[in-house]
């Protein structure tokens, strides 16, 4: 009997121990689970913070990239604009500095004209038979009009009937009259429908009539020398506009009148005191002054005053 009781007690104690152990194990499992959940939650929070920071960084990087790209694009646009401006400036410089065929120039010396064989010619004739006051037609030989009383001028160049453009392609022609010979740009043309000032010379105009080139001679009614004529003209023209670039030297004088957005350049030559005044005049908008500064210099270098049409030499243009 005692053995049975002892056995039962032993079994009860063991059962309690097992139960206690099981309870502790459950508690440990529960604690582990709670700890795991907390760790997982903290980990998730950290991950969220990390991801948020990553998103912010990526967003900032994206903003920086966008800004960098914008800056790069603006810089590229500036460079493209600078290149375009440089190209336009270079093109304009080429236009301004164009001196085509200057080595194949017409020359006049002691009343004899020398014409390179490869150049062409066009005659400007007076017409009193109705129609236009002037007629311009190509000729093969200068001798065709050498002694013609109706001859008003001869244009000599690569293509004397071609009209150039100051904003595009142009070249120099040579204009021969009984008063003077000179190089001028071919964006000026004879005005066939306009009656010329026969006592002065000839005036050519641009297609839009905004620019004019006049070549001729006028009577020296006051019997002045170059210095006196220069001073007299300055006094006259300063009443009409601003007189600039005044110059007088020897038998020549020049000045420019600026008025209402236009410039008018005058050049004069008097061989001896009291003689007629040989002259050429350019009128043009102020915006073209840099182009015309070069044109005027070329015209001055080629300007030859005469008293009559020059004769052709025996060994030229046949």
Work out the mean pLDDT of the chain and round it to a whole number.
Answer: 80
**Could you report the per-residue pLDDT of 195-207, keeping only the tens digit for each?**
888 778 999 999 9
Average pLDDT over residues 29-34: 46
**CA–CA gap between residue 207 and residue 191 (Å, rounded):** 10
Q: Which residues contact 212 (CB under 8 A, 6 or more apart)?
A: 188, 203, 204, 205, 206, 281, 282, 283, 284
**Residue in this structure with the two tokens 């015209």, named with its chain if needed:** 299
- Environment class of residue 313 by beta-carbon count within 10 Å: exposed (0-12), middle (13-18) or buried (19+)? middle
pLDDT of residue 314: 59
Instruction: DSSP for 78-112, please give it.
Output: HHHHHHHHHHHHHHHHHHHT--TTGGG--EEETTE
Q: Which residues pair with 180 in a beta bridge?
A: 305
pLDDT at position 129: 87
Average pLDDT over residues 96-113: 70
Mean pLDDT of 204-222: 96
Kindly indicate the confidence band of residue 3, based on its pLDDT and cuts at 50, 70 and 90.
very low
| Residue 257 structure tokens | 């009148």
- What pLDDT is stored for residue 121 in this prediction? 97
Categorize the per-residue pLDDT at 113 as very low, low, confident or very high, splitting at 50, 70 and 90: very high
The pLDDT assigned to 164 comes to: 97
Confidence of residue 131 (pLDDT cuts 50, 70, 90): confident
Name which residue leads in pLDDT, 301 or 146.
Answer: 301
308 compared with 97, residue with greater pLDDT: 308
**What crossing angle do the helices spanning 289-302 and 2-96 adopt, rounded to 10°?**
30
Show Cβ contacts of residue 232 under 8 Å, excluding neighbours closer than 6 positions.
222, 224
What the block records as the tokens of 31 is 């604690």
Residue 4 has pLDDT above 50, yes or no: no
What's the pLDDT band for 105 if we cut at 50, 70, 90? confident
**Alpha carbons 248 and 228: distance in angstroms, whole number:** 10
pLDDT at residue 278 greater than cutoff 70 = yes
Q: Which one has a higher pLDDT value, 4 or 250?
A: 250
Q: What is the DSSP letter of 220?
A: -
The 10s digit of each residue's pLDDT in 232-244 is 999 999 999 999 9
pLDDT in tens, 39-85: 555 555 555 545 555 555 555 555 555 555 556 666 676 666 556 55
pLDDT, one tens digit per residue, over 145-201 is 988 999 999 999 999 999 999 999 999 999 999 999 999 999 999 999 998 887 789
Lowest mean pLDDT among 59-63, 174-178, 251-255, 300-304: 59-63
Query: How many Cβ atoms are within 10 Å of 242's Cβ, its own excluded?
Result: 11
Is the pTM value of this prediction over 0.85?
no
Can you give the residue ranges of every domain in the chain?
53-97, 98-219+276-312
The span from the CA of 185 to the CA of 26, in Å, is 111
DSSP, collapsed to helix, strand or coil, labels residue 193 as: coil
């Amino acid at each position: 009997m005692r053995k049975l009781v002892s056995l039962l007690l032993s079994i009860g104690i063991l059962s309690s121990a097992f139960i206690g152990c099981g309870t502790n194990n459950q508690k440990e499992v529960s604690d582990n689970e709670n700890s795991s959940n907390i760790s997982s939650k903290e980990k998730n929070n950290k991950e969220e913070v990390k991801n948020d920071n990553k998103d912010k960084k990526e967003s900032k990087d994206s903003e920086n990239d966008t800004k960098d790209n914008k800056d790069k694009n603006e810089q590229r646009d500036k460079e493209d604009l600078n290149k375009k401006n440089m190209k336009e400036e270079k093109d304009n410089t080429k236009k301004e500095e164009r001196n085509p065929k200057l080595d194949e120039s017409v020359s006049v010396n002691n009343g004899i004209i020398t014409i390179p064989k490869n150049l062409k010619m066009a005659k400007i004739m007076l017409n009193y038979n109705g129609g236009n006051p002037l007629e311009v037609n190509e000729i093969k030989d200068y001798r065709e009009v050498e002694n013609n009383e109706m001859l008003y001028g001869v244009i000599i160049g690569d293509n004397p009937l071609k009209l150039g453009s100051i904003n595009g392609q142009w070249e120099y022609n040579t204009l021969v009259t009984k008063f003077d010979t000179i190089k001028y740009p071919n964006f000026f043309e004879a005005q066939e429908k306009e009656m010329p000032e026969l006592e002065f010379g000839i005036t050519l105009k641009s297609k839009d009539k905004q620019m004019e080139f006049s070549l001729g001679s006028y009577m020296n009614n006051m019997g002045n020398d170059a210095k006196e004529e220069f001073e007299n003209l300055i006094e006259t023209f300063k009443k009409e506009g601003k007189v600039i670039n005044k110059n007088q030297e020897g038998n020549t004088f020049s000045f420019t009148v600026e008025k209402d957005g236009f410039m008018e350049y005058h050049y004069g030559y008097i061989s001896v005191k009291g003689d007629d005044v040989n002259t050429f005049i350019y009128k043009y908008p102020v915006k073209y002054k840099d182009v015309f500064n070069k044109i005027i210099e070329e015209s001055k270098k080629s300007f030859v005053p005469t008293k009559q049409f020059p004769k052709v030499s025996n060994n030229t243009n046949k």
